[in-house]
C-alpha cells in the first residue's frame, strides 16, 4: 500500500467521518496540512477571521444540522483562541471536533515559538482530547474522536497534532471497528427504574415535564409530544430545550427559569411529580435548588449518569437515551389526564400574561422587533442569538417551535457567539433564512466574521438591538446595585458605516413603523444584511427570578424587586 503524509491522512479521515466543512485559520505548524488541502476538494475549508469565530461557527453548524462540526487552528495563540468555543461546546453538549497543530515533536515542552500546552489546557473543557505523536495513530484517533463526540452525551473532542506528524508518511488504514473499554455510550435502561417511574406517573396528580436540550439532541421531539399527550402532562422547556414542542401545542407552557414565565415557574414549584427529560437541572432553569419543590417526586432521565443527584436528588434516576426511555415509558400506562391541574396553570397564565408579552408602547423595543422577525421568517427560519437581554426576549417571544430553530449559548453564556454561530448555521442550512439577533456589546466581540460571510457568500441577516448599554448587566445594576451604573454605558461605532465598510447592505431603524419594511428588505436581499435597531435604552427583561431565589419567587416588575 502507498504511503501518504499525515496531512493527507487527516483529510482522508475527515472524509471517512463525514465532515464536509472545516472552519479554520492557518498558521506556521498547520502549513503542511494546508499544503495538501487542494488535493482534497471534498472537504470545504472556510477561512474565518478569528479562531474563536471558527469554534462558534462549528458549533452553529453542529447545532443547526445535528452533524459533527469541525474547527481547525494553528498552535499557540491559534489554539488558545479556540478555548472559549470549546468550553461553550462542552457546557451545551455540542458535538464538535477541534483540531490544532502544535510545534514539532522535538520541540514539545521546550517553550518554542507559538507553543502552548493546549492538550493540558483543554483537558477539563473537552469530553476527551488527544495528542497524536505518530502518523499511524492519526486515523484511529480521528475514528475514536468522532465516535466519542457524537455518541452518548455529545461534546467537544480535541486533537492536537505536532507539525512533523503532518509531514511523516505512512499507510492510511481506516479502522473498521472501534472498541473503547472505558466508554459505553449505550447503557441499557434499568427495568426497575422504569417500573418505579411508571408508578409515579400513574399516581401523580400534578405532573410536569422539564424538557431540555437532550430532547433535541436525541431527535426525540415526536416522542416527547406523544408522551406528554398520553400522560396528560404539561411541558416546560429549558432555554436549550425550546423547540422540542411547538409553542402552540395545548400542553406547551413555554420556558421556565430565571426569565421563564410566571405560570411556568409556579407550575414547576407546585407540581407533585417533576419529569426532567434530557436536561441537567441547571440553576438558571431551576432557581434555588433547595426550594425548587422539596415535596415533589423527581424522575430524571439523562444519558449522563453524573447529572443525576448532582443538583437535585432524583426519586427515580433513569440513565439512557431519552428517546428510547420515552418509548419504553409510554408503553407502560394507559392514557391519563389532569384537567384540574392544567386548569390551574391556565388560570395563572391568564392572570400573568402581561409580563410576558410585547410591551404596548411607542418606543422601539427589542421585544417588538424580535416578534416581527419571528413573524416574518416563521418556524422554518433559524434564530441565532448572543447572550443577554435580547437572548431572553428571543426565547420568550420568538415562538420557537421547531427543534434546531433556536441556536444560542446556554450554559457558558458566551457574548459574541451570535455572528460566527449564525455563519456556521447558514453553512449547514443554506436553504433556510438565518437571523442573528445581536446585542450591541456582543456584536463588537466577533463582528469581523462579516468578512467571512462575504467570502463564502453566506446571506446571514444581523439585527443589532442597539441600546448603547450592556443591557443585562445594566438591568442588574439598576435592580440589585441601586442604579449604580458602572462600565455598562459604551460608545458604539456607526454600525451602518461599519457594515458598509465590509461591503454589505446596512440599514438603520429608529422607529417602530420602519421595522417591518427593514425585515422584508433584509429577507429579500441575497447577501448578508446588517440592521442597526436603535432601541429604547433601559428596558428590562420580565419576569425574573432574582439570583439565588426560588422559582416561586418570580417577580414581574421593578417595584416587586425593590420590595424584596
Partner 1 sequence: MKHTLAALVENHPGVLNRVASLFRRRGFNIESLAVGTTEQEGISRMTFVVEGDSNVGEQVEKQLYKLIDVLKVSDLSREESIVREIALIKVRSEKNNRRDILDLVEIFRAQAVDITEYSVVIQLVAHPETVDSLLENLTAYSIIEMVRTGRIAMLRGPQAISAPTTEPIELARFHQASGRRPVGELPYVSE
Q: Which of 255, 256, 453, 472 is catalytic?
A: 472
Q: What is the DSSP string of 335-356?
A: ----HHHHHHHHHHHHHTGGGG
Q: Which residues contact 124 (CB under 8 A, 6 or more apart)?
A: none
Cβ-based nearer residue to partner 1, 176 or 482: 176
Nearer to partner 1, 174 or 344 (CB): 174
**How many C-beta neighbours within 10 Å does residue 182 have?**
5
Query: 429 an active-site residue?
Result: no
Judge contact between 337 and 202, C-beta under 8 A. Answer: no
Catalytic residue, candidates 67, 114, 226, 514: 114
Instruction: Decide if 314 contacts 275 (C-beta within 8 A).
Output: no
HSE value, Cβ hemisphere, 13 Å, CA-based, for 23? 37
What 3-state class would DSSP assign to 170? strand
State how beta strands 406-407 and 382-385 pair.
Answer: parallel
Of 21, 81, 84, 76, the C-alpha closest to 49 is: 81
Closer of 321 and 385 to partner 1 (Cβ): 321
CB of 122 to partner 1, least distance (A): 11
CA atoms within 13 A on the CB side of 366: 29
* Cell numbers representing residue 272 in the block: 407533585
Q: What minimum distance in Å lies between the beta carbon of 177 and partner 1?
A: 4
Nearer to partner 1, 139 or 264 (CB): 139
Nearer to partner 1, 304 or 478 (CB): 304
Q: Sheet holding 406-407: strands in order across?
A: 406-407, 382-385, 434-439, 461-466, 529-534, 505-509
Q: Shortest approach of partner 1 to residue 323 CB, angstroms?
A: 7
Minimum gap (Å) between residue 392 Cβ and partner 1: 28
The Cα–Cα gap between 208 and 342 comes to 10
| Alpha helix stretches (DSSP H) within 253-310 | 262-270, 283-286
Q: Which of 63, 163, 461, 505 is catalytic?
A: 163
Cell 416522542: give the residue.
223
Contact 118, 102 (CB under 8 A): yes
Residues of this chain that interact with partner 1 (CB under 8 A) are 16-20, 65-68, 95, 119-120, 123-124, 127-128, 131, 143, 146-148, 150-151, 154, 174-184, 186-189, 218-219, 304-306, 308-310, 313, 320-321, 323-324, 327-328
Min separation Cβ 71 and partner 1, Å = 15
Least distance from C-beta 390 to partner 1, angstroms?
A: 30
What are 437's three cell numbers?
Answer: 439577533
Nearer to partner 1, 324 or 521 (CB): 324
- Using the minimum distance from each CB to partner 1, give the nearer residue, 132 or 387: 132
By beta-carbon proximity to partner 1, the closer residue of 180 and 250 is: 180
Are 440 and 467 in contact, with CB atoms under 8 Å apart? yes
51 carries an active-site annotation: yes
Q: How far is the CB of 150 from partner 1 (least distance, A)?
A: 5
Please, what is the minimum distance in Å from the beta carbon of residue 411 to partner 1?
A: 15
- Catalytic-labelled residue, pool 113, 195, 480, 490: 113
Active-site pick, 51, 307, 418, 449: 51
Residue with cell 455510550: 185
Question: 425593590: which residue's cell?
Answer: 562
Active-site residue, 113 included: yes
Tell me, yes or no, if 514 is annotated catalytic. Answer: no
- DSSP summary character for residue 188: P
Distance CA 377, CA 63 (A): 19
List residues with catalytic annotation.
51, 113-114, 163, 472
Amino acid at each position: 500500500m502507498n504511503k501518504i503524509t499525515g496531512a493527507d491522512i487527516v483529510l482522508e479521515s475527515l472524509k471517512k467521518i463525514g465532515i464536509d466543512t472545516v472552519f479554520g485559520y492557518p498558521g506556521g505548524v498547520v502549513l503542511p496540512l494546508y499544503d495538501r488541502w487542494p488535493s482534497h476538494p471534498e472537504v470545504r475549508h472556510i477561512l474565518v477571521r478569528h479562531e474563536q469565530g471558527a469554534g462558534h461557527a462549528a458549533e452553529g453548524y453542529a447545532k443547526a444540522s445535528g452533524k459533527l462540526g469541525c474547527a481547525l487552528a494553528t498552535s499557540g495563540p491559534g489554539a488558545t483562541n479556540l478555548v472559549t468555543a470549546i468550553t461553550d461546546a462542552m457546557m451545551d453538549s455540542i458535538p464538535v471536533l477541534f483540531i490544532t497543530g502544535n510545534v514539532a515533536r522535538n520541540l514539545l515542552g521546550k517553550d518554542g515559538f507559538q507553543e502552548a500546552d493546549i492538550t493540558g489546557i483543554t483537558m477539563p473543557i473537552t469530553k476527551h482530547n488527544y495528542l497524536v505523536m505518530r502518523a499511524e495513530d492519526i486515523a484511529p484517533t480521528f475514528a475514536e474522536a468522532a465516535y466519542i463526540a457524537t455518541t452518548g452525551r455529545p461534546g467537544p473532542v480535541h486533537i492536537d497534532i505536532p507539525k512533523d506528524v503532518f509531514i511523516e508518511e505512512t499507510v492510511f488504514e481506516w479502522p473498521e471497528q472501534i472498541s473503547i473499554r472505558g466508554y459505553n455510550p449505550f447503557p441499557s435502561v434499568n427495568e426497575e427504574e422504569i417500573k418505579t417511574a411508571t408508578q409515579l406517573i400513574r399516581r401523580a396528580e400534578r405532573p410536569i415535564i422539564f424538557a431540555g436540550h437532550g430532547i433535541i439532541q436525541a431527535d426525540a421531539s415526536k416522542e416527547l409530544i406523544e408522551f406528554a399527550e398520553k400522560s396528560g402532562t404539561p411541558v416546560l422547556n429549558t432555554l436549550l430545550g425550546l423547540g422540542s414542542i411547538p409553542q402552540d401545542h395545548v400542553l406547551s407552557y413555554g420556558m421556565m427559569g430565571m426569565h421563564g414565565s410566571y405560570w411556568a415557574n409556579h407550575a414547576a414549584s407546585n407540581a407533585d411529580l417533576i419529569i426532567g427529560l434530557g436536561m441537567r437541572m441547571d440553576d438558571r432553569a431551576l432557581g434555588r435548588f433547595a426550594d425548587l419543590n422539596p415535596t415533589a417526586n423527581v424522575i430524571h432521565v439523562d444519558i449522563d449518569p453524573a447529572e443525576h443527584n448532582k443538583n437535585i436528588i432524583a426519586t427515580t434516576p433513569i440513565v439512557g437515551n431519552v428517546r428510547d426511555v420515552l418509548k419504553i415509558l409510554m408503553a407502560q400506562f394507559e392514557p391519563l389526564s389532569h384537567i384540574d391541574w392544567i386548569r390551574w396553570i391556565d388560570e395563572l397564565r391568564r392572570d400573568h400574561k402581561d409580563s410576558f408579552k410585547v410591551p404596548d408602547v411607542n418606543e422601539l423595543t427589542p421585544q417588538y422587533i424580535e416578534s416581527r422577525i419571528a413573524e416574518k421568517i416563521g418556524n422554518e427560519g433559524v434564530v441565532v442569538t448572543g447572550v443577554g437581554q435580547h437572548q431572553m426576549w428571543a426565547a420568550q417571544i420568538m415562538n420557537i417551535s421547531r427543534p434546531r430553530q433556536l441556536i444560542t449559548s446556554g450554559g457558558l453564556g458566551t457574548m459574541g457567539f451570535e455572528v460566527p454561530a449564525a455563519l456556521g448555521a447558514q453553512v449547514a442550512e443554506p436553504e433556510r433564512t438565518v437571523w442573528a439577533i445581536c446585542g450591541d456589546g456582543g456584536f463588537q466581540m466577533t463582528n469581523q466574521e462579516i468578512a467571512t460571510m462575504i467570502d463564502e457568500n453566506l446571506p446571514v441577516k444581523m439585527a443589532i438591538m442597539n441600546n448603547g448599554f450592556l443591557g443585562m448587566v445594566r438591568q442588574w445594576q439598576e435592580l440589585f446595585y441601586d442604579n449604580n451604573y458602572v462600565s455598562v454605558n459604551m460608545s458604539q461605532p456607526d454600525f451602518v458605516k461599519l457594515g458598509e465598510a465590509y461591503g454589505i447592505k446596512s440599514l438603520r431603524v429608529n422607529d417602530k413603523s420602519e421595522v417591518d419594511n427593514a425585515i422584508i428588505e433584509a429577507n429579500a436581499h441575497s447577501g448578508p444584511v446588517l440592521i442597526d435597531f436603535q432601541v429604547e435604552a433601559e428596558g428590562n427583561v420580565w419576569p425574573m427570578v432574582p439570583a439565588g431565589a426560588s422559582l416561586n419567587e418570580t417577580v414581574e416588575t421593578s417595584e416587586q424587586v425593590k420590595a424584596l
